[in-house]
Amino acid sequence: MSKAIFEAFDGYQGIVDEIDFSRKHGVDYTVYRDSVDQQINLLHPSRISLRVSDIIVESPSTKTLRFVSQDGYLPPFLAGQYIAFFLEVGGVRTRRPYSLSSPPNQTGYYDITVRRVERGRVSNYLLDEARRGDILEGSGPSGHFYFNPVFHDRTQVCLAGGSGITPFMSMIREAVECGLDRTFYLFYGNKTLDEAIFHDELGRLSGRFQNIIYVPVIENPPGGYAGATGLITGDLIMKTIGDVADKTFYLCGPQGMYDFCVPELQRMGVPLRKIRREIYGPPAHIWEDPAWPREIKAEDHFRVRVAGGKPIDARAGEPLLTALENAGLRVPSLCRSGECSMCRIKILSGKVFQPAGVPVRKSDRQFGYVHACVSFPIEDLEILT
Amino acid sequence: MEAYDAVVIGAGNGGLTAAAGLAQKGLKVLLLERHNIPGGCATSFCRGRFEFEVALHQLSGMGTTERPGPLRMLLASLGVLEDLTFVEMKDLFSVSMTDGFRLTLRADKDQVISELEQRFPHEKAAIHQFFDLVYAYANNMLAAFFFKDPAPSREKYPVLYSHAFKPASEVLDEIFTDPLLKGLLSVYWGYLGLPPNRLSFAYLAMLLFVYIEFKPFHIKGGSQALSNAILNRFLSNGGTARFNGGAKRIIVENGAVQGVVTDDGDRIQTEHVVSNASQITTYAQLMDRENIPDQVFTEMGGRSLSPSAFTLFVGFDCEPGELGITGSTNFLIDSFEFDDRIFSRMRSVDITDETMVLSCYDVADPDFSPAGACQANIVTLKYGEPWMRIPPARYHSVKFQCAESMLRRVEAIFPGVRTHIEELEAATPLTHMRYLGHPEGAIYGFEQYTKDSMFFQPGRYAPIEGLYFASGWIGDCGFQPTLNAGMSAAKSILKKLDAA
């Protein structure tokens, strides 16, 4: 059929005139070039070049690294968000997320606060090797652990464990520095008192501002310690906050803290929708998961073939992502806790163990996709990155 | 150097069907995608225990197994039907107003007419006249174009000749007097991006026709399931897909495609490229200006960017009924004037009484969200340009303010929703810009004025040998058209290779 039949449709000439007119006064799209990327980079750059401008010793085991932008621009973030660093440590390219501990109103720099951890390859590298003037590559700010004014309560009950204090530092600093209409109850659990990062600053802020209530909770207190001791229990929380109405609860710390505190909160009558949990890395001892296959040992090794290539070696007790990185493969990642889906890979054959509750899309499950950062090999695998 | 029969840039709907269509015929195909997941718009994301559907509201063109529509046939030809479960929506849509007005239309012609007759008895004759016209137009259109009548004429297809280029509002004004009824019957304009005074009757008529005749559908697992299924078929047919890296440049020599340079700097040899990216990006970013005839930019310059959208994704800790939500597709409307006020609202950042659609997939598919929970995708159209002028430091607070305004509008119709929110995420025009790579976050590509319809534009073709387009930018937008666009691009390449 000749396409030209539409030339006989009523109103055809009017359309032709409209086309002539709109082209004559049209848009010059040649100038668009990479304008989309440039616009998005203001908010969500895939990479930022950061220079260590200062290193602040917080405690014998903890340092704050302060970063300024090499090109002078730092994208905005929400208190509680993290950035990931892209590093090469011991000849292995890897990435690690760190919550920003500086407040978002401080637009000149980003702070991250790092504590020494057992087998913490990257954290220990940052503590021991990073020097002023070093340049590190980082991601743009990311993450969903922040105050959302649309549906969170203005009274925030925060439960922190160990280095899980960092996102709350950003939130509390922002609140006091900007005079925000928010109240913080901060329960901060540590094994010993001298492990409590920012203890002095939090004590000072709590003394000065009525809306900052700081409750350190020490598991093994020194003799004669007058403050709260043991774990962060429902009773302690209730005694401090009075009632659970009009309050949103935020948790950031190791898995053990969630396992203990979430049931405590529920026992207090806090509905699940009021409980916000920050991600905190892959489970450290996955083989202790109740669903872990008993016949598999943490030290068992499996062979992983990537897209038909040479097999690489992977340990059952270690996230598949780590094995891939150790073998020199480049797999993108951000949160390394199962949430962001950046390290999504396809399992062609073999099985991995995934802890319960990892947010994997339904159809990804159907077609064999997993998040490599929280997948543990329990058979020989063939995968597609 | 790596060599492929074809390189497909972008794994959105059009890119996926193009790639799968070519690989199915034995071609060696490379699919490049900047993101870590296929789908483009047709995707989902997780927050807490919810997986949020991003873009699919009502899938058109499916039809039933007994009476398959064009999309079902397309998906069958790609071999993905058995991997997917489709859920038929019994309602066309519901309309809710803050004054308490509620109306639900079933996806059935006779039931739509009888419901409207009951509610608008003074417009009884007009209602029949309108649907007769919609069906006459659709049947004329299908006979002339879909079934390719070799000798069409005004005598055979009078409604096509008289109505193809008429604005929707003009037709509605001619037939009806009640502004509310006119508003209800043109509420689907939001799926097309142009208000009824600028939208052609042809688009509105075809949309009503396909939804009523082939029924609106949703997919178990959402649109991501569709994207994953097509990609899976592509891979099993020997296709190569690379994620987390797109194309940096299309190499053209002597007016013909010679290859592609990837974001990683790999040079790929190929004589065929299907671009699932916009023509703007393809021509202005991926290609050298001297390889592009001036005519390309002159033609494109006459077209304007469609709106983007502001979208709220809300996870509730209760079932839809508890929120008062009884329909899958709910249009919230408060204004029915067909004037450019709609336009000026779309051009402003703030949200007041805009028309919006709230889709609650759990109504038709109770498994969509976790047991005892449900989700809503609430969207209103907004141009991206004003958002680009917000200083980055202000961006998050403006985003929260708009989310709050939108939620208030929803609360006015479904009181109590706020007390059940478990997760809430907002997407602004800049979010759409980020994930789609579309200039100004234009979700529908170029605007779909009559002058931009298939009769007047180059569609999938480019004046560069071996380059084809497959996306919502080349003509009609939406799931069915973009999936179809990819198949058409694949067919063009296969035909060219057959001829050689």
User: B325 with B443: CB under 8 angstroms?
Assistant: no
pLDDT for A193 beyond 80: yes
Q: State the Cα–Cα distance between residues B123 and B109, nearest whole angstrom.
A: 17
Mark yes or no for CB contact B166/A26 under 8 Å. no
Mean pLDDT of chain A: 96
Nearest to B404 among A9, A150, A369 (CB): A150
Residue A331 has pLDDT above 90, yes or no: yes
Confidence of residue B438 (pLDDT cuts 50, 70, 90): very high
A271 vs B: CB within 8 A: yes
Q: Does residue B431 share a domain with residue B364?
A: yes
Residues 43-102 of A with CB under 8 A from B: 43-44, 75-76, 78
Q: Closest Cα of chain A to B58: distance in Å?
A: 19
Q: What's the ipTM?
A: 0.96
B171 lies in the same domain as B243: no
Provide the pLDDT for residue A228: 97
Residues B196, A4: Cα–Cα separation, whole Å: 27
Asked whether residue B352 is domain-assigned, the answer is: yes
HSE toward the beta carbon, residue A159, CA cutoff 13 A: 30
Q: Considering only the beta carbons, identify the residue of B161, B298, B301 that sits closest to A8.
A: B161
| Contact across the interface for B407 and A144, Cβ inside 8 Å | no
Of the partner residues B244, B392, B422, the one whose CB lies closest to the CB of residue A43: B392
Q: Where on the phi/psi map is residue B103: left (φ > 0), alpha (ψ -120 to 50), or beta?
A: beta
pLDDT tens, B223-277? 999 999 999 999 999 999 999 999 999 999 999 999 999 999 999 999 999 999 9
Give yes or no for residue B292 having a pLDDT over 60: yes
- From chain B residues 87-126, the ones with a CB under 8 A of any chain A CB are none
According to CATH, where is 3.40.50.80 located in chain A? 155-277
CB contact under 8 A, A14 and B165: yes
Cβ atoms A93, A321 nearer than 8 A: no
A29: nearest CB among B301, B430, B451: B301
Distance in angstroms (rounded) separating the CA atoms of residues A303 and A381: 6
Quote the minimal CA–CA distance from B285 to chain A in Å.
4
Name the residue in chain A with its Cα closest to that of B222. A363
User: Mean pLDDT across the stretch A312-338?
Assistant: 96
3-state SS assignment for residue B444? coil
In chain A, what residues touch B221 (CB-CB under 8 Å)? 361-363, 366
Residues of A numbered 237-256 whose beta carbons fall under 8 angstroms of chain B's beta carbons: which are they?
Answer: none
Check: CB of residue B61 under 8 Å from CB of residue B487. no
Strand partners, A114: A63
Q: Flag whether pLDDT at B388 surpasses 60.
A: yes
**What is the per-residue pLDDT across A276-312, written as a single tens digit (0 to 9) for each?**
999 999 998 999 999 999 999 999 999 999 988 999 9
Give the pairing type, strands A110-115 and A135-138: unpaired
B288 and B318 in a single domain? The answer is: no
What is the per-residue pLDDT across B198-214, written as a single tens digit (0 to 9) for each? 999 999 999 999 999 99
Q: What is the CATH number of the domain that holds B9?
A: 3.50.50.60
Give the pairing type, strands B467-469 and B273-275. parallel
d(CA A272, CA B433): 33
Banded pLDDT at A3 (limits 50, 70, 90)? low
The minimal CB distance from A29 to the residues B148, B221, B297 is found for B297
Neighbours of B201 (CB within 10 A): 25
Task: Give the pLDDT of residue A120.
Answer: 87
**Where would I find the beta strands (DSSP E) of chain A?**
48-59, 62-69, 82-89, 92-99, 110-115, 135-138, 155-161, 183-190, 212-218, 228-229, 247-252, 275-277, 301-306, 311-315, 344-349, 352-353, 369-371, 376-377, 381-384
- Choose from A25, A100, A146, A150 for mutation: most chain B CBs within 10 A: A150
Which residues are CB-neighbours of B240 under 8 A, at least 6 positions away? B4, B28, B29, B30, B31
> Would you call A306 helix, strand, or coil by DSSP?
strand
Report whether B359 contacts B304 (CB < 8 A).
no
CB B91 within 8 A of CB B102: no
Residue with tokens 């920050």: A278
Across the interface, do A36 and B281 touch by the CB < 8 Å criterion? yes
- Looking at the fold, whether B412 and B485 belong to one and the same domain comes out as no
Checking if the pLDDT of A269 tops 90, the result is yes
Paired with B252 in beta bridges are B257
Residue B376's closest CA among B400, B356, B353? B356
Decide if A75 and B392 are in contact by the 8 Å CB cutoff. Answer: yes
Residues B188, B244, single domain; the answer is: no
Co-location of B343 and B421 in the same domain: yes
Instruction: Please tell me the predicted confidence (pLDDT) of residue A308.
Output: 84
DSSP, res B63: B
Residue of A nearest to B292 (CA): A30
Mean pLDDT of the region A111-126: 93
In 3D space, the residue among B14, B152, B61, B147 whose CA is nearest the CA of residue B475 turns out to be B14
Residue at B486 is within a domain? yes
* Yes or no, beta carbons of A150 and B285 under 8 Å apart: no
Q: Do A43 and B430 touch (CB under 8 A)?
A: yes
Cα distance between residue B396 and residue B304, in whole Å = 28
Q: Residues of CATH 3.10.20.30 domain(s) within chain A? A: 286-384
Verify that B201 and B227 share a domain, yes or no: no
Interval B169-201: pLDDT, tens: 999 999 999 999 999 999 999 999 999 999 999
Domain carrying residue B121:
108-214
At A1, the pLDDT band (50, 70, 90 cuts) reads very low
Instruction: Confirm whether B403 is domain-assigned.
Output: yes
User: Measured between alpha carbons, how far is B44 from B225 in angstroms, rounded to an integer?
Assistant: 9
A44, A24 Cβ separation under 8 angstroms = no
pLDDT at B380 over 90: yes
Instruction: Give the residue-averaged pLDDT of A128-135.
Output: 97
Q: Is residue B97 assigned to a domain? A: no
Q: What is the DSSP string of B149-182?
A: -SS--TTT-HHHHHHTTSBHHHHHHHH---HHHH
Do B152 and A26 count as a contact with CB atoms less than 8 A apart? no
Q: Are residues B299 and B311 in the same domain?
A: no
User: Is the confidence at residue B338, as pLDDT, over 90?
Assistant: no
| Interval A347-378: pLDDT, tens | 999 999 999 999 999 999 999 999 999 999 99
Considering the domain architecture, whether residues B344 and B430 belong to the same structural domain is answered as yes
Domain end call among B383, B404, B436 = B436
- Which CATH number, 1.10.730.10, 3.40.50.1370, 3.30.110.30, 3.10.20.30, labels domain A286-384? 3.10.20.30
pLDDT for A2: 47
**Which structure tokens are listed for B405?**
């305004």
**Per-residue pLDDT for A161 more than 60?**
yes
Per-residue pLDDT, B499: 87
Q: Which residue has 């929506």 as its token pair?
A: B89
Residue B224 C-alpha, separation from nearest chain A C-alpha, in angstroms? 7
B57-94 confidence digits (pLDDT tens): 999 999 999 999 999 999 999 999 999 999 999 999 99
Closest approach of B69 to chain A, Cα-based (Å): 23
Size of interface A-B (CB pairs under 8 A): 174
Contact A142, A75 (CB under 8 A): no
Q: How far apart are CA A156 and CA B138, in angstroms?
A: 57
Are B451 and A369 an interchain contact pair (Cβ–Cβ within 8 Å)? no
* Distance between CA atoms of residues B188 and B209, nearest Å: 12
Task: Answer for the pair B330, B349: CB distance below 8 angstroms, yes or no.
Answer: no
Please name the residues in contact with B85: beta carbons below 8 A apart, sequence gap of 6 or more.
Answer: B219, B220, B221
In angstroms, the CA A94 to CA A22 distance is 52
Same domain, B189 and B233: no
Residue where a domain stops, chosen among B436, B467, B488:
B436
Position B500 scores a pLDDT of: 79
Same domain, yes or no: B369 and B312: yes
- Note the pLDDT of residue B473: 96
| pLDDT greater than 70 at residue A233 | yes
Which of B412, B436, B460 is the C-terminal boundary of a domain?
A: B436
Neighbours of B112 (CB within 10 A): 18
Query: B169 near B196, Cβ under 8 Å?
Result: yes
User: CB-based contacts of B126: which residues, under 8 Å, 6+ apart?
Assistant: B175, B176, B177, B181
Strands (E), B333-373: 356-359
How does strand A301-306 pair with strand A311-315?
antiparallel
Written as six digits, the tokens of A302 are 């499996």
Question: Could you tell me what percent of chain A has a pLDDT over 70?
Answer: 99
Q: How far is A60 from chain B (nearest CA, A)?
A: 35
Question: What are B444's two structure tokens?
Answer: 């529908």
Beta strand residue intervals within B59-190, DSSP E: 86-88, 91-96, 102-106
State the fold for domain A155-277.
Rossmann fold (3.40.50)
> Do the Cβ atoms of A43 and B160 come within 8 Å?
no
**Does B63 reside within a domain?**
no
Whether residue A359 and residue B47 make contact (CB cut-off 8 A), yes or no, is yes
Domain count, chain B: 3
A332/B241 Cα distance (integer angstroms): 16
Looking at per-residue pLDDT, the higher value among A1 and A292 belongs to A292
How confident is residue A29, by pLDDT bands cut at 50, 70 and 90? Answer: very high
Would residue B51 count as lying in a domain? Answer: no
Distance (Å) from the alpha carbon of B391 to chain A's nearest alpha carbon:
9
Q: Largest alpha-carbon pair distance within chain A? A: 97
pLDDT at A64 over 70: yes
Our CA-based measurement puts residue A179 at a distance from the nearest CA of chain B, in whole angstroms, of: 16
Q: End-to-end distance of chain B based on CA atoms, in angstroms?
A: 24
**Domain-embedded: residue B95:** no
DSSP B31: E
B130 inside domain:
yes
Topology (CATH) of A48-138: Elongation Factor Tu (Ef-tu); domain 3 (2.40.30)
CB distance A160 to A253 below 8 Å:
yes
User: Mean pLDDT, chain B, as a whole number?
Assistant: 96
